[in-house]
Structure 1
Amino acid sequence: MIISPPLLKTAQGNQSDEDWLKGLMPFESKGNYPISSLLAWHGGQHIEHTDTGTRGEPVRAIADGKVMFARKPSPLTGENAKPDLAINGGSSDGCAIIKHSTEIGEGLEGQVEYYSIYMHLKQVFVQKNQPVYRKTELGSVGQCNSNNAMHMEIICDDDNLKKLVGREKGNLDLSKDGRMDVVYGDMHFYLPAGATFYGAQPSANSQTGAGTPAYISTTPLFISMRFEKGNCKMSTRQENPEILGEYTCIGNEIIETDYEYNLYKAATTLANRNEIASSAMYELLRFGRVINIDNETAIPAGAAPHWRRVNYPDGQGWVNLNAVSIKKYSDADFPHWMGWNLIADDATPDSQCNSPTLLGWLDSDGDKKYTSKELVQVLGQDKVKERLSRSICKFPTEWEVATLNTRYEWIKTESDLLETPLDTDQYENFIKLITALCFWAEADLGITADHWHFHPREFIGHFRKCGWLSPNELIQTIPITVKKLSETTFRSENIGSNTAIQTRVNRWGRHLNIVLRKYSIDNTIRRVFFFANVWEETGYLRLMVEGNGSQASYAPWYGRGLIQLTHLSNYQSYGNYRGFVTRQITGQFSALGWDPEQLIAENDHNCIDTAVFWVNPSASAIGRNILIEADRGFSIDVALQTARGTNGNVSIEKLNGLDGRLQVAYYLKYILLEDIPLQDFEVLTFTWRRSSVKTGQRVVRGQVKRVFETGNHSINVDILARRPL
């Protein structure tokens, strides 16, 4: 899934993705989720907008999809104005609804649908049944009760809730590991009471530590493992004994610098000591368990240790996260100890929130009475806002005309909460305004009016951690054309029709997703540079074996795989990493002991898994994990360094296919990152070989050899996006 907020602005400096999103979609807006200050259900988030500059920032599609409903806004002023919309200072009735069909993991359980709703637009640029893509301009922000703001919702039905969240109700099941077909984001571990912690780091193949334990837990603990730009951050939580369902952090995060960058070395070291394939051990350290059981040897709980230093109450120690009693999960499981709650316990027909769960959270003094003053105070607390934002709630839409009176009659009756109820005229005006804004029957989305709601910012932020790409998203990463150097002139080459690209993606897409997830090439900037290189290496997924390789001087050890293995030593290294069985065989592969045609060229998963090249410093041409370069952000220098790491650490004129690699990186900047193209091309200026043929001469050991000469180039990169069929 690729997803972004409805209003886009460039991140500032080293601003984290989380802070960037908070700035674009702040909680401080007047429309609270999932309840208002009058304790009425509110299915979305109000997003205020300043519209500074000569042209207001447009509202954009958060992801690819199809427009299911579009309503052009009615004028708020002038002779054609709708008087009902002027109530409460004026509200725009422009609206667009998009259905998003995408993937977050493998198989049917990974295929999901949800809807995004954009309300209070002063302009609407799209129409019903129109396909839209992430960042497509939908309209512009209008008025919401006189404020320059829009209302946004993200909703789904029962079937898709189970796919999106992994369950239908209640807390996560702690008796078993989390799902394996959908895995992304941070990894989490449930440690029941009785977990043993040691003061000193145990040996790599020891199931227990030496000496007396430093601590044995008396209550359940929850460990989270997060990779971030090479570092690994470990945090510990426990339930607050005084507040049911609230989990608090123990101490500060423990940060292990460069742990992610050194994961290959750690995996091979531990694998050798435990006599387990390094590839399987890599998954244990990456996910806490082996999840690709179709292609890896499983490591059952207790079979090999996974020692990590973590916090426990009043201290730190080493704990084996692969002990038999410990269960493993990922962000894809929406762990309740991370604040995620499924709320569906309001059986009343009106729009007032009567959920015992939420009311319990808001009852600050425990008297089970709720006044407007108390609610304003409680709802203004950051801690409460955060807890409410991760509640996934089921209640009826506020946009259905047929049920308006049933849902809003309560606002005419005085109560502790509503000291000044609406009189008859006020109520009629209120109903007129809501009626003018309603759309549910007309939109006819095909889901019930009583459905599940997500806080938009939390939904977007959560799924930005999901790196699994749907076929349609993968197709878009391959440009339509690139310019290739032909002698001293660049000529445009067509990469292939949508039908041809679709065929390639259908074959390789699943394996690409599995491998990119494993090697943490699952955020947007890393994928930009990875795809920029492997698309060039493979002819855009067309070739997985080096052309005319059998004629090469190093045959039969010519290139095979996504990042092509070349030379006997690299084949041996990869075979050892995967744990391939070596045998006494005859013929051209006798020195290797296994057949690379069978195990790589003809095995689709293994073919793609050669991407391990990127995270293996000893195989990378630059002698370090290439993720280190990609994490520096987008620049032509980073593009050059990742190209050197992939193709060869040579002088710039010797880098093969650099013209294609750079152009694809620039193209992907607009597909995968948040950049907005201003036109259909971008000027790229770079230094490379002057000509595609060797025009220079150099004397080597007394002999004159033809060599490439350097030259400067400036070309227009075609950034027109490929769109699926």
Structure 2
Amino acid sequence: MLISPPFLPDTDPVSNDPACTDPMMDVVDRFALGNHGVYPIAMDGRWHCGTHLAPHPSTEAVRAIADGEVVAYRVAAKPVSDGREAPDGSLPLNTNTGFVLLRHKTDTGDGRSITFYSLYMHLLDMRAQEAIHAQPANPPAVGSGSALPRWLLRPTEGVKIGDGKLKVYRKDMLGYRGRRHGHPHLHFEIFLTDADFDAYFGRTQLGRAEPVTPAGADCWGRMYYVIPGEQEFVSTPPGKASASYFPELQTGSLAAGSTLHVEVFFHLGQRYTRSWIEINGQRTLLTPTPVKDPYDDYEYNLFRRATALYPRCPSAGYELLRFGRVLSPELPALTATESQTWVAVTFDAEGNQGYLDISRAEIQKLSDADFPRFTGWQKIEEGRPPFTADGVCDHQALRQIVETVESAMTPEQRLLPADQQAEQLTAYIHGNEAVRDQLKGFVCHAPSEWDKGNNTQRYGRLNEPEGFFGKRKAIDPDGYSKFIGLVERLQFLEQVPGLGGGQKFWFFHPLAFIRHFRRCGWLSVRELTQTLPRRSSPEAGGHIPWQRAYTRWTEGAGSPKSMPPGIGMAMNRMWLKYGFTTPLRQAHFLSQIFKETGALTLTTEGGGERYFRTMYEVITPEEAGDDYDTKLPWLKKMGLLKNRDRAAYSAGRPDDVSDKAIELGNTEEGDGARFRGRGLIHLTGRQKYTDYQKFAGKDFTADANSTLISAQAKFCTDSAGYFWTSKFMNSKNSGAYRGGFNIHRRTDLGSGYKNVLAITKAVNGGANGLSERFEYFQHAYYLMGDKKSSSNPETRQLEPSE
């Protein structure tokens, strides 16, 4: 899922602070207003299942949060009045009625499709919008990060319903924030229908009181351990006293009846944890800031650690260390002793850390994919008839917040208009971090305020003697009628097929929803398709139309020794396992494998028997001389000539090939062809195949199995992840270069040309195809990152209209 907030202010995409792993969301969170528009309840007791955002600067464009289709929209030529008179008796035009409603469908895992809606309300009117940003005379049919689409530049007569053909792409401009009651803001919502909610969240643990380790492989984001009481923590795991992987810590134990919740995440190569202790239903945070693992560069050295601690199958150990459990069913099963996974955990209020074996069955292992209760996610449903179908919130926890604010208000404040009284509620919540965080986890089952059907039934209680407007009759006799009048000018949902009729929806705090799913690195096939540029230089991919790109990710390239089918799904699984969890890491990886595979067309090194023998086994002086006579330009391009004339090359080349054969471990006749380069990033030679065989617990050296690395998508991708994380780079830590295991050490450093060069040298050994790799990187990083506009719009993939 590729998702981003509705505003994309300029900010550094990466922070060194482990408490700030998503700087973009941290900035946009501060756009939430402190004086009105709190989620999910209004001061008058109505459900308010959105949040109000005001960007800085005010000219920051509103953008689509994900790829989707237009469900409904309204473009207003000018604002309307909210019905309240100004001191001079006029009716100021202080409310914008423009909106866009989008439907998004994407994936978060294998068979894990999710459909949700995003609503952008109070978009600026045409007249004011033109003053901010002049639009082209001939606007495009499909918008972009720098231009509005044609359909948003024509005032509509009322509400327009999408026909399924109007598509938007993440980061496309939708307009600018407008006003309501004169207050500048965007009202922003995310919701799901009952059917869509049940289809996706019915398979999570949202709403489950006692979470358990899931049986499947749906796992992403941060990991969580649920550790019951009476567990013992040790200073050093048994038999590991001399291991450098386990610096000495403290001993301790959990009290009976307590539960320890541990959050685990990786950031810039380090492992961090946060811990909470729960006693009698009360949770206490033990770690005010994330605690770094005592073993430095934990993630960067994960391959090395897994190889040392899990010799029978390091690949399984790698998953145990990252996820706390093995996700890949094809890996050899480890015994209970072989599966022991000792990790460092903070276990008390003094900050003491000890080691615990989390492989034990009584310790539950979960992830962000599970939406566990103890991370704050709660389902909020009303349960008191007869008012469960109206628009007034009766949920006890939410009503208590409103009543707390009401009791603290002065008599003068109680006389203020509704929108000004709302400032008291918002100020209370913004000043109370615990309440604010709690509300962000509420998933509310409520009717939409934008459905005109049954307004009297939904809002009538507000006008009763004890209702919000009823109590204000003496000072504001027309308050309720003005409220309903403005609401009806804004409402539209009753006109949308399938969404009207007064039905309830499941609402999320929209920024919490986005922040959470940004941790999911899984890309749908449609999103993967867009990673291949539509147009690039001939040396890169040339012209790759949408359907061709889609086919390469799904069906393969369609010829022997080419890309196998299912590469997209396999790529996602590999990314999850080997920590390709950020747009920067994913874009760097794609830039390399697109060049290595000819834009996803080839996974096998080409050549005949003579080529593989004379490159990787043995060559005679006569054969070397013949190559000099017939392939001189190629020898120069490959760097094999080394400034030698024919005589010197013929005499020296046999030793070169002999040295290469020794380096590759090619000891038997035919090894050159047998162990030719295969995979997204080629493994070449008997030794490399053997090393990967030891890691994966799978035979790749038998004649019948040597082709698996290129013929089966799971090995084609997994071998590339293995190559990436097992690569040892022998260099000084300077600039874009970092030495040690794992190419992630270099990918995390940046997105410049020098960074692509440093990674190319780690993958390719030189700078072959550097220009094309940088082309690929720029396109992929724009697509997956938060940059607002592309440096080359011609690379953009647009799905053909049906």
Q: Give the TM-score category using the shorter length.
A: 0.7 to 0.9
Specify which structure has the higher proportion of strand: 1
Of 426, 429, 434 in structure 2, the residue corresponding to residue 379 of structure 1 is 429
- The verdict on how the C-alpha distance between 1:461 and 1:287 changes in structure 2, with shifts beyond 3 A counting, is same
Of 116, 119, 142 in structure 2, the residue corresponding to residue 117 of structure 1 is 119
How big is each residue's C-alpha offset from its partner over 1:328-368, in whole Å with a ceiling of 9 and x where there is no partner? Answer: 11011112111111111344233222113434677769999
C-alpha displacement at 1:161, in angstroms?
Answer: 2.3
How big is each residue's C-alpha offset from its partner over 1:533-571, in whole Å with a ceiling of 9 and x where there is no partner? Answer: 001111122111112265322222221011110122211
The amino acid across from 2:515 in the alignment is G
C-alpha displacement at 1:212, in angstroms?
Answer: 12
Looking at structure 2, the residues matched to 310 and 370 of structure 1 have their Cα atoms a distance apart, in angstroms, of 48
Aligned residues: 654
- Structure-to-structure mapping, 1:459-608, within 5 angstroms: 459-484=513-538, 494-506=542-554, 507-548=566-607, 550=609, 551-552=611-612, 553-554=615-616, 555-556=672-673, 557-581=675-699, 592-593=701-702, 595-608=704-717
How big is each residue's C-alpha offset from its partner over 1:295-343, in whole Å with a ceiling of 9 and x where there is no partner? Answer: 3234476652111111112432111111121111101111211111111
Larger radius of gyration: 2
- The verdict on how the C-alpha distance between 1:166 and 1:618 changes in structure 2, with shifts beyond 3 A counting, is farther
Residue equivalent to 1:626: 743
* Alpha carbons 2:461, 2:467 under 8 Å: kept: no
C-alpha displacement at 1:474, in angstroms?
Answer: 0.1
Of 394, 399, 405 in structure 2, the residue corresponding to residue 354 of structure 1 is 394
Looking at structure 2, the residues matched to 247 and 336 of structure 1 have their Cα atoms a distance apart, in angstroms, of 15
The amino acid across from 1:501 in the alignment is A
- Larger mean Cα displacement after TM superposition, 547-556 or 374-383: 374-383
C-alpha displacement at 1:601, in angstroms?
Answer: 2.4
Of 313, 316, 320 in structure 1, the residue corresponding to residue 357 of structure 2 is 320
- The verdict on how the C-alpha distance between 1:549 and 1:670 changes in structure 2, with shifts beyond 3 A counting, is farther
The amino acid across from 2:522 in the alignment is W
- Larger mean Cα displacement after TM superposition, 406-415 or 627-636: 406-415
1:25 aligned onto 2:29: yes
- The verdict on how the C-alpha distance between 1:417 and 1:549 changes in structure 2, with shifts beyond 3 A counting, is farther
C-alpha displacement at 1:140, in angstroms?
Answer: 1.7
- The verdict on how the C-alpha distance between 1:48 and 1:162 changes in structure 2, with shifts beyond 3 A counting, is same
- The verdict on how the C-alpha distance between 1:602 and 1:720 changes in structure 2, with shifts beyond 3 A counting, is closer
The amino acid across from 1:642 in the alignment is I
- Structure-to-structure mapping, 1:38-437, within 5 angstroms: 38-52=44-58, 56-76=59-79, 90-107=94-111, 110-123=112-125, 125=148, 127=151, 128=162, 129=164, 130-167=166-203, 171-172=207-208, 174=210, 176-178=212-214, 180-203=216-239, 214-218=252-256, 219-239=258-278, 241=280, 248-250=285-287, 252-256=289-293, 257-272=296-311, 276-293=312-329, 295-299=330-334, 304-314=339-349, 315-347=352-384, 348=387, 349-359=389-399, 378-380=428-430, 381-415=432-466, 420-422=471-473, 423-437=476-490
Normalised TM-score (structure 1): 0.83
- The verdict on how the C-alpha distance between 1:671 and 1:620 changes in structure 2, with shifts beyond 3 A counting, is farther
1:8 aligned onto 2:84: no
C-alpha displacement at 1:418, in angstroms?
Answer: 7.1
Looking at structure 2, the residues matched to 667 and 168 of structure 1 have their Cα atoms a distance apart, in angstroms, of 34
Looking at structure 1, the residues matched to 284 and 248 of structure 2 have their Cα atoms a distance apart, in angstroms, of 31
C-alpha displacement at 1:631, in angstroms?
Answer: 0.6
Residue segments in structure 1 that go unaligned for 5+ positions in a row: 486-491, 583-591, 682-717
The amino acid across from 1:641 in the alignment is A
* Alpha carbons 2:381, 2:445 under 8 Å: kept: yes
- Aligned CA-pair RMSD: 3.4
Looking at structure 2, the residues matched to 500 and 382 of structure 1 have their Cα atoms a distance apart, in angstroms, of 50
The amino acid across from 1:75 in the alignment is K
* Alpha carbons 1:84, 1:433 under 8 Å: kept: no
C-alpha displacement at 1:76, in angstroms?
Answer: 2.2
* Alpha carbons 1:185, 1:332 under 8 Å: kept: yes
The amino acid across from 1:24 in the alignment is V
Residue segments in structure 2 that go unaligned for 5+ positions in a row: 127-147, 152-161, 415-420, 555-565, 617-671, 732-738
How big is each residue's C-alpha offset from its partner over 1:103-122, in whole Å with a ceiling of 9 and x where there is no partner? Answer: 01111xx0110000010011
Looking at structure 2, the residues matched to 65 and 135 of structure 1 have their Cα atoms a distance apart, in angstroms, of 11
- Larger mean Cα displacement after TM superposition, 160-169 or 16-25: 160-169
Looking at structure 2, the residues matched to 524 and 212 of structure 1 have their Cα atoms a distance apart, in angstroms, of 37
- The verdict on how the C-alpha distance between 1:173 and 1:370 changes in structure 2, with shifts beyond 3 A counting, is farther
C-alpha displacement at 1:62, in angstroms?
Answer: 0.4
Residue equivalent to 2:796: 720
How big is each residue's C-alpha offset from its partner over 1:267-300, in whole Å with a ceiling of 9 and x where there is no partner? Answer: 111112xxx311111111111101121x323447
- Larger mean Cα displacement after TM superposition, 176-185 or 624-633: 176-185
Normalised TM-score (structure 2): 0.75
Q: 2:513 aligns to what SS in structure 1?
A: helix
Residue equivalent to 1:699: none
* Alpha carbons 2:3, 2:518 under 8 Å: kept: yes
* Alpha carbons 1:123, 1:141 under 8 Å: kept: no
Q: 1:481 aligns to what SS in structure 2?
A: coil
- The verdict on how the C-alpha distance between 1:493 and 1:509 changes in structure 2, with shifts beyond 3 A counting, is closer
Residue equivalent to 1:714: none
Looking at structure 2, the residues matched to 203 and 421 of structure 1 have their Cα atoms a distance apart, in angstroms, of 74
- The verdict on how the C-alpha distance between 1:137 and 1:531 changes in structure 2, with shifts beyond 3 A counting, is same
- The verdict on how the C-alpha distance between 1:240 and 1:176 changes in structure 2, with shifts beyond 3 A counting, is closer
* Alpha carbons 1:38, 1:417 under 8 Å: kept: yes
Residue equivalent to 2:725: 615
Looking at structure 2, the residues matched to 159 and 18 of structure 1 have their Cα atoms a distance apart, in angstroms, of 31
C-alpha displacement at 1:473, in angstroms?
Answer: 0.2
* Alpha carbons 2:320, 2:339 under 8 Å: kept: no
- The verdict on how the C-alpha distance between 1:223 and 1:88 changes in structure 2, with shifts beyond 3 A counting, is farther
* Alpha carbons 2:782, 2:790 under 8 Å: kept: no
Q: 2:741 aligns to what SS in structure 1?
A: coil
- The verdict on how the C-alpha distance between 1:152 and 1:346 changes in structure 2, with shifts beyond 3 A counting, is farther
The amino acid across from 2:438 in the alignment is R
How big is each residue's C-alpha offset from its partner over 1:369-399, in whole Å with a ceiling of 9 and x where there is no partner? Answer: 9997995664241221111011111111001
* Alpha carbons 1:95, 1:120 under 8 Å: kept: yes
- Larger mean Cα displacement after TM superposition, 521-530 or 362-371: 362-371
How big is each residue's C-alpha offset from its partner over 1:627-646, in whole Å with a ceiling of 9 and x where there is no partner? Answer: 11111121111111111111
* Alpha carbons 1:121, 1:141 under 8 Å: kept: yes
* Alpha carbons 1:33, 1:42 under 8 Å: kept: yes
Q: 1:597 aligns to what SS in structure 2?
A: coil
C-alpha displacement at 1:413, in angstroms?
Answer: 3.5
Residue equivalent to 1:636: 753
* Alpha carbons 1:251, 1:311 under 8 Å: kept: no
Looking at structure 2, the residues matched to 330 and 168 of structure 1 have their Cα atoms a distance apart, in angstroms, of 10
* Alpha carbons 1:346, 1:356 under 8 Å: kept: no
